[in-house]
Structure 1
Amino acid sequence: MLLGDLAQGLGGIPPSAIGMHLYTMRGPLAGDFEGTLEKLAAIGYATVGVSGRHGHSAAEIRRMLDATGLKAVLEHVAYDTVTGSGLPQALEDVRTLGGKWIVVPSLPGTLHSPEGYREAARKLNQAGLIAREAELKVLFHNHEPDHRTVNGQMLYDILLAETDPHLVGFELDLYWAAKGGAKDPADYFTENRHRFPALHVKDMAPNGDFADVGSGVLDFAHMFGSARRGGVKQWLVEHDNPTDPFASARNSYEYLRDVRF
């Protein structure tokens, strides 16, 4: 930490908490999974979120992670798997990867109503109870539709209110929260302490497109100032459509390494 930061009481993100969500790197991973991991580690990343295995087993990915010094902290697994008979195997795979969290990336479109989100909350609670027995936790990852208001209720807030904090947490995607018109993420962190162990740090260009972290319009320093109240432990970079995935990964890492809040 810089002397000026100390004087102002500013802090930064611990190096061990800066990760890459591997959806960003899906192109390079398809061609050379281990080589891509090696390059991410060389940039400085400490952790990854797994999203797509590209034909590899959980054990094979764990071997590659161990070889490159990276650690998987979570895996994205489909809602139907997490809430169905596939959950035990999915939990075992997350444990094999070395992760802490099994993340539902989105809800089926058929559930995009207040009643559907209440049903999802019940099922996520049930899955969360099983996950807890495996010493893991279920998280939910948001997209733009989750922040729509239907019949006077924001759908995302239904999940927050009706899931058990001990069983279900959230991986907040900052871009989609902003795109969907959600409340200030800093307010989410303050009002729902210890419910947000992971973030997708994704920036927004002035025209609303995706951008490398730190190059867009989102005020991350403001959001991060309240992040620890929400229990944030992992800042995972994501860019849905980077022109050059490795350049994007490097730019985003350097911003998160240097940001102070």
Structure 2
Amino acid sequence: MRSGFGAAAVAGLAAAAIVAPSAGAQTEPTGMIPKEKISFQLYNFLVPVFGAIDFGGGNYFPPGGTPNTPAQMQAAVQNVFAQMSANGFTAFENFNGTFGWTAAEYRAKYEEHGLHAVADHGAVDEGSWDARLAQAKALGLKYVGSGGWPAGTNMDTVEGAVNMGAVMNRLGAKARAQDLWVYGHNHDKELSTKLQYDTNGDGVKETVSALEVVILNTDPSLVTFEIDVHWLLEGLSYDQDAAVAFLRKHSKRISMLHVKGSDPTKNPQTIPSTDMSRVTDAGGPNDVTDWKRIFEAAADVDYYHWEYDLSLDPFNSSKVAFNLMNTIKFGKVRDEPGTVGGTVPATLALTLGTGATFEPFIAGAPTKEYTASTSATVTSTAGDATLAVSEPGHLTNGAFSLAEPLKVEFSKSTWNGPTSNENVDVTFKQLIKSTDPLRTGSYSKTVTFTLSTTQP
């Protein structure tokens, strides 16, 4: 339906539980849609029921058509119920209220044809929600929503999407109190609009669809969703892998699908948009939708509603769609989040190699800078680390000291993140001038090396 767009390190794992043959199995899946879950959207019969749609200014669809009278509309609705029942359907999604009948009268009309109403598309406004729920109970519905989202809400921004989630939660609380469910319904823009949002609560924002932000801000015990597969594909520019990934990720939140065919060869320059020209028969010759993968990914769907907006021959289209849903075989794939974790204790470790020894200092020899080396091994789990040495001073031999100070240099002395068992070259330098007095014996100095951090 067309509507407005209103210090511990922990790693997450996805543990896939697959019901049906595994990826390596050779047998074909045998799962099918139960017949009682195959449904249709009454909106498909807009033209037969209304006769012609008045767009204003004397413009009608179909062109030259004449709108039906209320009596003609009631007769047309009853004809739809009769024919759709004959075509094998047992469930439908309502549209446009009760066509002038009381709720009880209207319910009797479809039940006499063996049909039951599952959901409906109508106004979703907090001010009239109580009346909406009362009618839903009278009609025997399970789901109450619209062809879009609650009045006055939008998901153009993160703030708008979060607010929409809050409104849906309030509506959902009232619905669940009466054993009903409120649902939201997508078109293309909900998927093509991208927002920056922290989906995992780790402080890192990701680029996700606006619809995902709404889903993450609704309570699973109060709110569910109806995904229109055609508009899902349209909003994702017909990336079927992305569509399947979206359905798998949110399968537990999706109770209904709109089974609507897609033909992206029509007006491809307008993709993505709500361009009705790309809607086609679900399961028909021009439909590119990989329904097997779609149905596998949407593992928790309660009802499959066939929809074809403004079909020129909806009764024939219904047969094509029913054949698809009544014969397709598929498995189901369920993704369950699991966690695995490990604790990293704070570690700041420094290990020095053997002591460094200069070659013999030769008294009276030409001026020379002597060098000696050792190594240090650094391990740090901190956010930063610095290796330093105490003021080395002068090498001493009893009461005698060398004239020039000892120098210490590192091949690396700072880190901007963790490191493990990293080797650092430590070089000592000692300048001996030709005139420096040297005392027989050994010169030495104890120096202190320090590894420190400001971000433990």
Shift of 1:195: 1.2
| Structure 1 position 61 matched with structure 2 position 130 | no
Would you say 1:177 and 2:222 are equivalent positions? no
Q: Which runs of 5+ in 1 are unaligned?
A: 1-6
Q: Distance in 1 between matches of 2:162 and 2:323?
A: 40
1:128 pairs with 157, 172, 178, which one? 172
* Mean CA deviation greater in 51-60 or 162-171: 51-60
- Unaligned 5+ segments in structure 2 are 1-26, 51-72, 197-206, 267-277, 331-456
Contact 1:49 1:74 in 2 (8 A): yes
Distance 1:88 1:25 in 2: 28
Which of 281, 285, 289 does residue 218 from structure 1 map onto?
A: 289
Q: Does 1:102 align with 2:166?
A: no
Specify which of 102, 125, 129 is matched with residue 87 of structure 1: 129
Corresponding residue for 2:38?
A: 18
Larger Rg: 2
* Aligned CA distance change for structure 1 residues 102 and 256 (closer, same or farther; 3 Å): same
1:188 partnered with 2:246: yes
Partner of 1:158: 213
The alignment yields a C-alpha RMSD, in angstroms, of: 2.0
Given the superposition, is the C-alpha separation of residues 9 and 252 from structure 1 closer, same or farther in structure 2, using an over 3 Å criterion?
closer
Of 78, 88, 96, the residue aligned with 1:52 is 96
**Please, which of 247, 251, 255 is the counterpart of residue 197 of structure 1?**
255
Q: What's 1:4 paired with?
A: none
Instruction: Using the TM superposition, give the Cα deviation of residue 153 of structure 1 relative to its aligned residue in structure 2, in angstroms.
Output: 4.0
Contact 1:210 1:241 survives alignment (8 Å): no
Determine which of 40, 51, 54 is the counterpart of 2:84. Answer: 40
Please tell me the residue identity of whatever aligns with 1:125. N
Structure with more strand by fraction: 2
1:146 counterpart residue number: 190
Q: How far did residue 127 of structure 1 move?
A: 0.6
Partner of 2:350: none
More helix by percentage? 1
Q: 1:252 aligns with which of 309, 321, 324?
A: 321
The reply to whether residue 113 of structure 1 matches residue 171 of structure 2 is: no
- Residue pair 1:124, 1:168 contacting (<8 A) in 2 also: yes
- TM-aligned CA deviation for residue 64 of structure 1: 0.8
Q: Is 1:73 aligned to 2:142, yes or no?
A: no
Residue identity in the other structure for 1:203: G
How much has 1:118 moved relative to structure 2?
Answer: 1.2
Identity %: 27
Q: 1:227: which partner in 2? A: 298
Residue equivalent to 2:308? 239
1:60 CA drift (Å): 2.6
Per the alignment, in what secondary structure is the counterpart of residue 159 of structure 1? helix
Return the alpha-carbon distance in structure 2 between the equivalents of residues 98 and 29 of structure 1. Answer: 22
Kept in 2, the 8 Å contact 1:103–1:171? The answer is no
Equivalent residue for 1:3? none
Q: Distance in 1 between matches of 2:298 and 2:154?
A: 29
Runs (4 or more) in structure 1 with deviation over 6 Å come to: none
Distance 2:314 2:34 in 1: 23
Quote how far apart the aligned CAs of 1:58 are: 2.6
CA displacement at 1:52 relative to structure 2: 1.3
SS of structure 2 residue aligned to 1:86: helix
If the length of structure 1 is used for normalisation, what is the TM-score? 0.89
For 1:131 and 1:118, locate their aligned partners in 2 and report how far apart those are by CA, in whole Å. 20
Q: Distance in 1 between matches of 2:296 and 2:249?
A: 14
- TM-score norm. by structure 2 comes to 0.52
Cα contact 1:104–1:138 (8 A) shared by 2: no
Deviates more, 1:178-187 or 1:10-19: 178-187
Distance 1:61 1:13 in 2: 28
What's the secondary structure of 2:127's corresponding residue? coil
Does structure 2 conserve the Cα–Cα contact (< 8 Å) formed by 1:78 and 1:106? no
**Cα deviation per residue 1:7-37 (whole Å; 9 max; x = unaligned)?**
5232211111100011111222333111111
Q: Measure the CA separation in 2 of the matches of 1:195 and 1:236.
A: 17
In the alignment, residue 226 of structure 2 is paired with which amino acid?
E
